Every structure is written in structure tokens, then in C-alpha cells.
Chains A and B, each alone.
Chain A
Amino acid sequence: MSEQTTVEKEDTQLNEQTKEWQPSILAILCNWCSYAGADLAGSARMQYPETVRIVRVPCSGRADPMFVLKGFQKGFDGVMVLGCHPGDCHYAKGNYYARRRIAMTQDLLKALGIPAERFHFEWVSASEGNRFSALIKEFTRQLQELGPFEGVDR
């Protein structure tokens, strides 16, 4: 992969304090639940690694599989999609559509040989700030175990 197409290098720098490699995570968050959950984590000063770059979408149903693919093409070490719990969608059924779509996206990534551990899909509600911060910690740790993503063209 040429330098121009990789995610900016600062994303994959070593953490100053821990000297541990920090992965870069693309997180696609539904506006009504998951983004609010992330917000809660922030306003409640819950600590989580600064590895994550959040893209806010109106609904997990808006999380186009192409966002996920583009994330991997551009060299993110991990991609996650978070949405409202089934039954809680602000638009009644957006996350039901997302559920099928994301399930097929997981299968596509598998077919393409992208390790399943690099993609994370989860339901996170607006009150689950704790859970959001735990998720990021866990995903970061998981990616640290895997190491940097070599890119789709290795």
C-alpha cells in the first residue's frame, strides 16, 4: 500500500506512556443510541483509549457496508458498527435491516480473508456509556493482540 492511501501515521503511533502500539479504529455509530452512549462515556469522564475515530450516522441502517470496506481499504486496523438494540430503533426498524446487512458484511469479510476479529458489531444504547468504554478497551486490546492490519493488498 502506498503511503498516500494509508491512514495518517499518527493513528498508529506508540502510546507515549505505555509504549504499546495503538491500533486505529473506525467506529460507525448510530446517532440515537450508540453515539449518545459514547457521549455519556465522555461527559461522565469514563476513560477509554484514544484509538477510535467516530463517524456518526443517523441510524445503524445507514451504516453502508461500503463504509466498512472503505475503512479496511484505507488501512484501519479495526472497524466497528454500533446501533440501537433490536426493537429500540428511533426509526422503528432501521436496525433490523442493518442486522441482515451487517451479518452479510461479516461473511464478505470472511470470504475475503479479513480476520473476523478486526470487525466488531454491537448494540449499544444511550445509557450504556460504561459498556461503550469497555467495548473500546476490549476491541483495542484484541487488535493489539492481532497487530497492525497489513492492508488489503499485501
Chain B
Amino acid sequence: MADKLIGKDKIGDFLKALMSKYTVVAPIERGDAPAEFQEIADGDTPVLDGSKNMMPPKDYLLPRHEVLVKIDMSGGETKVETPLPEDKPRVIMGAWLPDAQGIQVLDRVFLDRKFIDPYYARRRENLALVAVIPAEMRWSWFCGSVDDVDTWKAGVDALMYDLGDKFYVEVNSDKGAALLEGAPMSVVSDVDVAAKDKLWTEFKNTGLLPFAGKALYENLAWDDPVWGEIADKCIACGMCSYMCPTCTCFDIQDETCGNCVERYRCRDTCQFEDFTLMGHGHNPRSTQLPRSRQRLLHKFRYQHEQFGVVGCTGCGRCVELCPVNVDIREVLCRTCAEPMEQAAEN
């Protein structure tokens, strides 16, 4: 399908038509708080242009609280229920492209290997992804530094570029084409193509840092003094992980009440002291230093070794929000760019 334009005034009608066939998941504004991906209903006005601060879409695919098993013994007999999400066609709209790429990373963890996570899989199957490049890039983005962003387009079914009063829509798959079938769209002109290309180039070059490609995962050293420096400052909250579009770690807990048991999954993070605390009291990561190191090495080295993807998409949430301004970009400049320079000198 050729690229098309859709006027912003037509988005409402388009959404309405879409909602008759799909469950539409899009960022809903919540006052000053970041918008959250929710299944939208009639009358909702989601943020589709990527202009607002938002929670990562993983909040929808990997909910903060998800019941895996329910055991009910109240009626005398034991009933076991595994409440899988409903099987229905869904579409995620309005995710920033780096966040959509984050879903690719989640897929590697939950779908690629020997075990397929049924809960994640259920939400992910039949899911179409429509990403957006906003008119204005966020100051904290550094997507072009972590990966070849051109390859990211293959992971989304359609990509919308915000061109002011209209979106330029690039369709990348049959799923995307089906999604847009019958939408009130018009043909693109050369001017539109040029405007879209300009926006893409801007996205590619936003926050470009002096490292790329292999340097990112090859130069990260286990014994780099930078880990100690981060650990000194780090107050050990889990904000960077919980807001990260690619952090996948979770905990499973059982809760009882009277005659029932609920086994649920919730978020967990390598930044917490009890993450690696063993039942007998030993903690292999007993100080903040190995915890700080773990998060970055996992993202940039271990995940690359394991799955061939970099576990960071440059969305900049941790850059913007870290309470003590531990800036992942600075850390990478130290760990990746400096060794590169040294290698060039020799």
C-alpha cells in the first residue's frame, strides 16, 4: 500500500471505524501525570501525535499487576482458574517509535525462546502496532545512537509522522494495510514526502552521541570505575526500570485470603536490594555497585549476546526522570566512547 495522508480532523472518524473492528489501545491523558496506554472507549480523546509525556506501552502488554492463577476452595471443591487475557484483535496507536521498538525487545524475552509466556502472547497475538514520530523530538531521545533506527520500521505495521495538521502514514505490513482500509485518506505529494523525510532525519539525528553499533556492547567493561560512581549517587529506587519500555523483570507472589489463593505477577527490578536476596540470607549483589552495573550490562551486553538486540531504545525516560541525574547517555559516553577514542589513538 502506498503512503497516505490523513488529516487530523479526520482522526476521530478513523478511530471510530477502527474501534468497530479492533480493540484500540492508546495513550489517555491523566492531568500532569504521563498519559497511559488504555483500551479506549467511545468519547475518549487519546494522544496520538506523541506530543505528551507517556508511560511505556509495556504497561499494557505486561501489566503492573496480573493475576496468573486463581485457586478457589470456598465451595468445598478446588477450582483452579488461569485468567488469560481475552483473545481479540487489538491495535496499539500513538506509541513513540522507540517504545514500539521496545516491544520488539519484550518479544525476544517472552516469545522467542523455549518458553512462550501465554499471558504476554495472548495480548501480543493479533496486535497491530501503529507508531508515531512526533513533530517535536524530546530532548532526552538518543535513539540513533543505540541502533540503526531504519531497521525499526520493520517492527511496526504503520508509522505516522506528525506534519502539523495531518499525519503522513507509512504502511509497513499487510496488517497495517488492513488497518487503514477504508480510512479517509488522501494521496501524498512530493512536498509531503520531503516533509516526512525531514522529520525522519531529525529523529535519526536527535541526541546523536559519539558511539554506535558494536562499541555499545563490546566496550562495556565489568570493572569500569563508572559503576562505582553511579552507585555512590544512586538512591536505589526502581524508577528507571519501571518506566523503561524494555525492562522485563517481574516477581511472582502468592496471596491467600480465606479460601482462595491468588498468584500474581508484578514488577521487580535489579535495582532493589531484595531482588537477588536468597532465602537463606545471602545476597550475591549485596551493594549498589553490582546492581547499577547489572542494569546497564544487561541492557547493552547480555541481551545483545542472548537475543541480538540492544535492550535500550533511547526513549530517554530515565534520562529525564532519574532523581539524582544519573544520565545513561553520559555513562555510555564514558564506557563506550572513551575506549573507542583510545583504540583510535593506538
Q: Which residues of A contact B (CB under 8 A)?
A: 2-6, 8
Contact = CB atoms under 8 A, between A and B. Distances in A.
A3 B262 CA distance: 10
A22 B258 CA distance: 20
Contacts of B260: 3-4
Contacts of B255: 4
Nearest to A2: B262
B252 to A, nearest CB: 16
A4 B255 CA distance: 8
Q: Interface majority SS on B: helix, strand, loop or mixed? A: strand
Question: Which 3 A-B residue pairings sit nearest by Cβ, starting from the closest?
Answer: A4-B257, A8-B258, A4-B262
A39 B132 CA distance: 68
Interface of B: 255, 257-258, 260, 262
B21 to A, nearest CB: 31
A8 B260 CA distance: 11
A59 to B, nearest CB: 29
Contacts of A6: 257
10 contacts: A2-B262, A3-B260, A4-B255, A4-B257, A4-B260, A4-B262, A5-B257, A6-B257, A8-B257, A8-B258
Contacts of B257: 4-6, 8
A115 B288 CA distance: 43
Contacts of A2: 262
Contacts of B262: 2, 4
A18 B207 CA distance: 72
Contacts of A8: 257-258
Nearest to A3: B260
A71 B258 CA distance: 16
A5 B261 CA distance: 11
Nearest to B255: A4
Of listed A3, A4, A5, A6, residue having the most chain B CB within 10 A: A4
B87 to A, nearest CB: 23
Nearest to A6: B257
A6 B255 CA distance: 13
Nearest to A10: B258
A42 B260 CA distance: 33
B254 to A, nearest CB: 11
A3 B255 CA distance: 12
Contacts of A3: 260
A3 to B, nearest CB: 8
A4 B73 CA distance: 12
A33 to B, nearest CB: 32
A76 B193 CA distance: 62
A18 to B, nearest CB: 25
A6 B258 CA distance: 10
A2 B255 CA distance: 12
Contacts of B258: 8
A151 B79 CA distance: 27
A5 to B, nearest CB: 7
A3 B258 CA distance: 11
B262 to A, nearest CB: 5
B67 to A, nearest CB: 8
A37 B159 CA distance: 72
B81 to A, nearest CB: 12
A122 to B, nearest CB: 29
Given A4-B260, A8-B258, 8 more contacts: A2-B262, A3-B260, A4-B255, A4-B257, A4-B262, A5-B257, A6-B257, A8-B257
Nearest to B262: A4
A5 B262 CA distance: 10
A8 B257 CA distance: 8
A6 B257 CA distance: 8
A4 B256 CA distance: 8
A6 B262 CA distance: 13
A5 B255 CA distance: 9
B290 to A, nearest CB: 33
B256 to A, nearest CB: 8
A105 to B, nearest CB: 25
